[in-house]
Amino acid sequence: MTTKGDGVTDGGGEDTPADAAGAVDAAGAVDAQGGPLVRLDGVSKHYGNVRALEGVTLEVHAGEISCVLGDNGAGKSTLIKIIAGLHRHDAGSFRIEGEETTLGSPREALDRGIATVYQDLAVVPLMPVWRNFFLGSEPTRGKGPFRRLDVPFMRATTHAELRRMGIDLRDVDQPIGTLSGGERQCVAIARAVYFGAKVLVLDEPTAALGVKQSGVVLKYVAAARDAGLGVVLITHNPHHAYLVGDRFVLLKRGVMAGSHTRDEITLDELTRQMAGGSELDDLRHELERAPAPAHLGGRATKSA
Amino acid sequence: MTATAPAPAPAPGADGADGTDERLLGRSPLRKLLGRPELGSVVGAIAVFVFFAFAADSFVRGSSLSTVLYASSTIGIMAVPVALLMIGGEFDLSAGVLVTSSALISSMFSYQMTANVWVGVGVSLLVTLAIGAFNGFMLTRTRLPSFIITLGTYLMLTGMNLGFTQLIDGTVSTKSIADMDGFDSARALFASRFTLGGVGFRITILWWLALVVVATWILLRTRAGNWIFAAGGSRDAARAVGVPVARTKIGLYMGVALGAWIVGQHLLFSYDAVQSGEGVGNELIYIIAAVIGGCLITGGYGSAVGSAIGALIFGMTSKGIVFAEWDPDWFKFFLGAMLLLATLLNAWVRKRAEATA
């Protein structure tokens, strides 16, 4: 599973362009211990004249969790779409295990070992759990016109794999839409782990979940990391990110606002930066001082 | 597959033994039955049968049943691929006139170009499949709704059917090909009769049954079937896990074209000439049969068997009204009522299936 520093990766490290706008390159120090599974350098993406992403640098190592933090519209979705193969990047370099790549389709990304679990589109709600689990990579047996799904194997494996991750399913035949949001995320993660993904990209896995369910999902994220996968965790919740993350990349309006390893930053600082840093202070200032207008029952204009 | 821990013995029945049984109480055999897409249509088919059995004495005779099955089969052959297409999340409004196009191509090519009808039949298959592929290709490339794309093909084909027939034959129907080489063998394949228990049946019934079996096999037991459900249930989720959604949809449109070819050849070889204005409006009948059979109009749910039962309800109703000697005008009313009931039932099923815990 691990890819210890091979020649290709080292070569990749040398010609890294340092033109990434404002990118804090925390990579150099880590290259020695093993090449990153995925490395983005100054990656940009434009939609027409809209700059969705500009000069983003990100590393994903085996057995580590790289968190991408940002507010709505910060470019998080664009970033994962590039990694997942849904969009092609316009500029910068995208390396998988040291090899320069442009992914043309999600299938290609999967074949390269990158599995993505989306917040809303992880599963097809009306299909049974076992069909969802193997969707896109269905095992078959038999030959020619009698090549068919290996249904008993699919059912049994789904049941076993989910139980291994601690999901005790009533019935693998139930439509996956009847599972809770957290369970659906976990099924998707279990699926990625089972199919031998090297890199797991999670899009806001805890966004729509309650505290307890979020905890369950984060536990599986950590389990995937311990299994040796490199994890990209996209979130706007710094508390969740700091619980499991090893590196943190902050995005703001399409550009990088910071890049830190865990030992460089505290939760408070991460939260502050995530919330907009000094902007948050200004906002607090305004909220405290702003007198309520008269029509809302305040006394702001009474004296006037 | 990749090497995994040894899987436990596949024993669905044994799953309940490991502490999950108390939650399984909610899924009794009755509930499992209620979860089948065909349920509504089976109940409807039985009701329609009983109704006409009492309303018309001649309805339960062997020859009447043969007539009913024949009427059902010509709809059913198309309803099967249309149902698959709907499960895959799309419509095909051109399906009705495509049947006529297929028959016209076969007839006119044979008559004008060669002396053997089999050449025309082969050319017709290729052209019809190409039209299906065109529908699918346009849909996946433009990402326009299939309603618009196939409405366009529907109108174009309607015009071409009339226009080309007028241009080549000078009338609204093709010339008879009954005296050409290969007509008898082609008729044997597409439009012959066989006798079973003293009652004569049309061969389209066999085509229909074969298609239902093949389509059910594809849907439930092949990778392509899994992809059809996924493409219709959630296109983006399917694409994200690597399902070739575009390829699947193009394949589904070509399936509809294949059905249109079979029915088209049947029409041609049972009458030896084709009326160029036929087929308009039939596309809705196929869709209605599929919907009555439990296909969700939004895709992702349904079955081939259901579409067959939907077609059977169609055949029983259209012929039953004749046997009962009623005004055939009531046929449409009856159909509309069936459609509404079926759709309400489907909506209820979907709500139950998608309800999150």
- The radius of gyration of chain B's CA atoms, rounded to the nearest angstrom, is 22
Chain A residue whose CA is closest to B21: A170
Is residue A75 a part of any domain in this protein? yes
Comparing CB atoms, the residue among A151, A152, A178 nearest residue B355 is A178
Residues of B with a Cβ under 8 Å from any A Cβ are 1-2, 4-5, 7-12, 15, 19-20, 23-24, 27, 217, 221-223, 225-227, 229-230, 233-234, 236-244, 296, 300-301, 350, 353-357
Whose structure tokens read 């992880």? A122
- Which H helix or E strand runs over A255? strand A255-261
Average pLDDT of chain B is: 85
Contact B8 A135 (CB under 8 A): no
Read off the pLDDT of each residue in A260-274 and give the average, rounded to a whole number: 80
Q: What tokens does A297 get?
A: 């029952």
Question: Does residue A114 surpass a pLDDT of 50?
Answer: yes
- How confident is the model over A117-138, as pLDDT tens digits? 887 666 888 889 999 999 888 8
Question: Does residue A246 surpass a pLDDT of 50?
Answer: yes
Nearest to A58 by CA among A30, A90, A86: A30
Question: Does residue B25 surpass a pLDDT of 60?
Answer: no
The total number of structural domains in chain A stands at: 1
Top pLDDT among B115 and A107 is at A107
Burial class (CB in 10 A: 0-12, 13-18, 19+), A219: middle
User: Which of A 159-178 lie inside 8 A of B, CB atoms?
Assistant: 159-161, 164, 168-175, 177-178
Is residue A253 a part of any domain in this protein? yes
CATH of the domain at A103: 3.40.50.300
Please state, in angstroms and rounded to a whole number, the distance separating the CA atoms of residues A98 and A242.
27
Instruction: Look up residue B292 and give its amino acid.
Output: I
- How confident is the model over B283-302, as pLDDT tens digits? 999 999 999 888 888 888 88
Contact B242 A106 (CB under 8 A): yes
User: Which of A 184-243 lie inside 8 A of B, CB atoms?
Assistant: 191, 194-196
Comparing CB atoms, the residue among A135, A140, A147 nearest residue B230 is A135
Is residue A300 a part of any domain in this protein? no
Is residue A295 a part of any domain in this protein? no
Q: How far apart are the first and last CA of chain B?
A: 32
- How confident is the model over B155-177, as pLDDT tens digits? 999 999 999 999 988 888 888 88
Is residue A101 a part of any domain in this protein? yes
pLDDT at A255: 82
pLDDT over 70 percentage in chain B: 87
Contacts of B2 in chain A (CB under 8 A): 194-196
pLDDT class of A289 with cuts at 50, 70, 90: low
- The radius of gyration of chain A's CA atoms, rounded to the nearest angstrom, is 22
pLDDT class of B349 with cuts at 50, 70, 90: low
- How confident is the model over A195-206, as pLDDT tens digits? 878 898 888 888
Segments forming the whole domain that contains residue A57: 7-265
Contacts of A197 in chain B (CB under 8 A): none
Question: Does residue B211 surpass a pLDDT of 90?
Answer: yes
CB B307 within 8 Å of CB B80: yes
Residue B92 to chain A, least CA–CA distance (Å): 23
pLDDT class of B132 with cuts at 50, 70, 90: very high
Domains of chain B: 40-347 (1.10.3470)
Q: What tokens does B357 get?
A: 């815990």
Contact A126 B301 (CB under 8 A): yes
Comparing CB atoms, the residue among B7, B238, B354 nearest residue A135 is B238
Question: Does residue A302 surpass a pLDDT of 70?
Answer: no
Question: Does residue B123 surpass a pLDDT of 90?
Answer: yes
Is residue A280 a part of any domain in this protein? no
pLDDT at B178: 85
Top pLDDT among B268 and A174 is at B268
Residue A45, beta-bridge partner list: A53
Is residue A93 a part of any domain in this protein? yes
Is residue A224 a part of any domain in this protein? yes
pLDDT at B224: 93
Whose structure tokens read 């399906």? B95
Please state, in angstroms and rounded to a whole number, the distance separating the CA atoms of residues A230 and A224.
8
pLDDT at B338: 80
**Range scoring the smallest mean pLDDT among A89-103, B202-216, B266-280, B298-312:** A89-103
Instruction: Look up residue B147 and give its amino acid.
Output: F
Residue A174 to chain B, least CA–CA distance (Å): 8
**Range scoring the smallest mean pLDDT among A24-28, B18-22, B38-42:** A24-28
